[in-house]
Amino acid sequence: MSEEKRKFKRLKCKDGGFAAFTRPNELIRMGQLQDISLGGLCVRYLAIDGDQVKFSEVKIFGSNSRFIHVDRIQCNIVYDQEVPEYSWAQISTRRCGVEFKNLSVKHRAMIQDFIDHFASEESTSQNSVG
């Protein structure tokens, strides 16, 4: 079993939480949040022919009792891998883990608000970071 290196406890996301990978003024990919912490997140998304696209920011959003949106969170890609059991001929399901970087006080507070509304206390043991 590998040693836990995260600074923040990773929490499983409830239904209705999404992430969009972006570059300035350009949407790259969008998918469903799997887990999140103040240090990073993991998202599951669909790609065509295993296409991996680089991005520099992530946007998180969701709606349950209210709509919450956090834009332009700078991040680093930690991993981006295919999930074979959920992939098909030319469409692959991928899991991507990112680590947040250079969070402002405002972004940190907004991400915490998002976590409070879209994460459950059930922690995850997946190979995501943050």
| Domain count along the chain | 1
Residue range 18-56, pLDDT digits in tens: 999 988 778 888 999 999 999 999 999 998 875 666 788
Q: Is residue 126 situated within a structural domain?
A: no
The tokens of 113 are what?
């608000």
Q: How far apart are CA 95 and CA 44, in angstroms?
A: 5
Q: Is residue 3 situated within a structural domain?
A: no
Domain range enclosing 29: 11-119
Q: How far is CA 14 from the centre of its chain?
A: 13
Q: Is residue 129 situated within a structural domain?
A: no
Contact by Cβ (8 Å): 58, 98: yes
Residue range 81-119, pLDDT digits in tens: 999 888 788 888 999 999 999 999 999 999 999 999 999
Query: Whole-model pTM?
Result: 0.83
Q: Is residue 1 situated within a structural domain?
A: no
Q: Is residue 5 situated within a structural domain?
A: no
- Could you tell me the CATH number of the domain that includes residue 49? 2.40.10.220
